[in-house]
Each structure stands twice: as structure tokens, then as C-alpha cells.
């Protein structure tokens, strides 16, 4: 896994938080939603189902850990979990905290409107917030 | 789990195929996409993360089994896996076979256009197709 390379579109749209047992945990740079990405460090994987059993269990544990943190945020009413990959084929799992009236409610966040980027300082603060909870 | 009740909106939009170890497997009644639903027979569950560890592993095994069948269909290029529940809170996992140029490509299927219902005979044929593969 030493030759793991992050897709440049994922790199551009999100910020590194921490490395979990299997995956990079990243923050989507969009102030509209609390939105984490899990990107397994498995070269060439594009489907969850391509992971072997041990990797799938690691990913599920990471979904539980990070997803429960998203669910615990004030105001979050529903967790959306998605693995789509229609545009970026590198396997990545979305964990998005949703609430009635948010910018895409009740539709999915993917393809909905335009990302509202954080200011640089706010992004750094958010990354630090998540890093302190995940490490 | 004897008091399991299917949400009436899921019942109206999909057809029963089979019971897996944890979940009802259902076919979404939309000719635009090969689209299965897994609905765990766990009363009151709305989040994957509310399931206990054993239930989560059963659900993951069902995702693998049904998802691999969707992936194996001719023309399917990408599997979309989603657990959203913004509209119907009863826990359900979507498994959708996608290809470039399909009715929602490259966006998500959820909230995209209007379902194209099967004719009754075609729906019965589809259900039988899936039942023979899943049982």
C-alpha cells in the first residue's frame, strides 16, 4: 500500500484529517454539510465489494467510528452513507450529516448545488476539530 | 422481529424478492436502473450504525451477495451503494447498477426524474429473475 495515490479531484475537494487502519479520513471542503470521506489506501479499488473480507471489516469499523461522530454533531438528524464513484472511480465512502432544511434536503448531497468552500482558517479549525476526535 | 412492518412508501415503490438472513431483498419498480433494496427486519432501525455488530456483519454479507449480482449484470459499470433515509426513515440500503449515459448519469439516482414503472408482467419476470439468483 506504499504506492497509494489519492485521486487529484478528491484531493482538491477535501482536506486530510487522519489515517485510520485502512483509510484516509478526509473532510469535504463544503460548509453546507458536515461531510467526511473515507478513502481506503488500497491501490486500484473502485468498489467496496472489491475489498477482501478483512478490509471490508476494517472499513465498516471506520464507518462506525467516523459516522457516529458525525451523528453526534449538534443538529444532525440523519446520517447519509454513500459509495457511488460515478465521477471519481477511486473507492471512497461518504458520511454526511443531514437535517431537515439543509441545502439539499431531502435530496442527496451529490450533484446538489455548488460546494461552499471554507475560508482557509476555518478549514484548518475544522480539520483540527475532526483530528482531535479521530485520533 | 415478528412485528417487522415495511414502510408503506417502500412497499409501494418496490416488490418483494426474497428474505435474506437479516433483510428483505426488494426490487425497486423502476425500469431505468437495476436497483435492489435491502431492508433489515429490525424494528425501529433507521441507521446502519444502530445495528449491533452481528447485524452489521449480516447486512454487509447481504450487500456483498446482492451487490455482486447487480455488478454482474450486462452493461453495469459501477455499483452505487447508499443508505440515506431522508424521506423514509426505516433503514434500507440501495444497490444500484449504473453505466455511463443512464438516466441519471453521473449523478445519483435518488431524486432524479420519475420512476418508470414496469408493466405487471415485466415486474413479475424481474422478480423471478432475482429470486432465482438470490435463493
For A121, counting Cβ atoms within 10 Å of its Cβ (0-12 exposed, 13-18 middle, 19+ buried), the class is: exposed
**Cβ neighbours, 10 Å, residue B81:** 21
Residues of B in contact with A110 (CB under 8 A): 107-108
pLDDT, one tens digit per residue, over B117-126 is 999 999 999 9
Q: What is the percentage of chain B residues whose pLDDT exceeds 70?
A: 99
Mutate to test the interface with B, among A66, A78, A91 (most CBs of B within 10 A): A78
Average pLDDT value over all residues in chain A: 97
Using the predicted structure, report yes or no on whether residue A21 has a pLDDT greater than 90. Answer: yes
Q: State the CATH architecture for B8-134.
A: 2-Layer Sandwich (3.30)
Q: Cα–Cα distance between A60 and A69 in angstroms, integer?
A: 14
Whose grid coordinates read 462506525? A64
Put simply, the answer to whether A83 touches B82 (Cβ < 8 Å) is yes
Q: Cα–Cα distance between A28 and A14 in angstroms, integer?
A: 4
Q: Across the beta sheet with A78-83, what order do the strands follow?
A: A14-19, A23-28, A35-40, A93-98, A78-83, B78-83, B93-98, B35-40, B23-28, B14-19
Contacts 24+ apart (CB under 8 A), B7-16: B7/B88, B7/B89, B7/B90, B7/B92, B9/B87, B9/B88, B10/B37, B10/B39, B10/B88, B10/B90, B10/B92, B13/B115, B15/B123, B15/B126, B15/B127, B16/B127
Instruction: List the single residue in B with minimal CA-CA distance to A52.
Output: B64
Q: Cα–Cα distance between A96 and A127 in angstroms, integer?
A: 15
Q: Provide the CA A19 distance to its chain's centre, in angstroms.
A: 12
Instruction: List the single residue in A with minimal CA-CA distance to B84.
Output: A80
Task: Establish if A108 touches chain B: CB-CB under 8 angstroms.
Answer: yes
Using the predicted structure, report yes or no on whether residue B1 has a pLDDT greater than 80. Answer: no
pLDDT score, position B3: 78
pLDDT score, position A2: 60
pLDDT score, position B17: 98
Q: What is the percentage of chain B residues whose pLDDT exceeds 90?
A: 96
Q: Cα–Cα distance between B18 and A27 in angstroms, integer?
A: 38
Report pTM.
0.97
Question: Tell me, what's the ipTM?
Answer: 0.96
pLDDT score, position A135: 81
pLDDT, one tens digit per residue, over A58-104 is 999 999 999 999 999 999 999 999 999 999 999 999 999 999 999 99
Name A87's bridge partners.
none
Q: Minimal CA–CA distance to A109: which of A123, A122, A99, A119?
A: A99
pLDDT, one tens digit per residue, over A43-60 is 999 999 999 999 999 999
Domain chopping of chain B, boundaries: 8-134
Residues of A in contact with B108 (CB under 8 A): 82, 84, 108, 110-111
Using the predicted structure, report yes or no on whether residue B45 has a pLDDT greater than 90. Answer: yes
Q: Cα–Cα distance between A43 and A40 in angstroms, integer?
A: 8
pLDDT score, position A74: 97
Using the predicted structure, report yes or no on whether residue A11 has a pLDDT greater than 90. Answer: yes
Instruction: Pull the grid cell for residue B94.
Output: 440501495
Q: Cα–Cα distance between A130 and A45 in angstroms, integer?
A: 25
Amino acid at each position: 500500500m506504499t504506492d497509494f495515490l489519492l485521486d487529484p479531484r478528491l484531493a482538491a475537494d477535501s482536506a486530510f484529517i487522519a489515517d485510520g487502519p485502512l483509510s484516509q479520513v478526509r473532510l469535504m471542503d463544503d460548509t453546507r454539510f458536515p461531510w467526511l470521506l473515507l478513502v481506503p489506501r488500497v491501490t486500484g479499488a473502485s468498489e467496496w465489494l472489491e475489498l477482501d473480507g478483512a478490509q471490508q471489516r476494517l472499513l465498516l469499523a471506520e464507518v462506525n467510528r467516523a459516522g457516529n461522530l458525525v451523528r453526534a454533531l449538534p443538529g444532525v438528524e440523519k446520517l447519509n452513507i454513500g459509495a457511488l464513484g460515478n465521477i471519481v472511480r477511486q473507492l471512497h465512502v461518504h458520511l454526511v450529516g443531514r437535517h431537515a432544511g439543509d441545502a439539499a434536503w431531502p435530496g442527496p448531497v451529490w450533484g446538489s448545488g455548488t460546494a461552499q468552500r471554507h475560508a482557509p482558517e476555518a478549514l484548518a479549525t475544522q480539520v483540527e476539530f475532526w483530528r482531535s476526535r479521530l485520533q
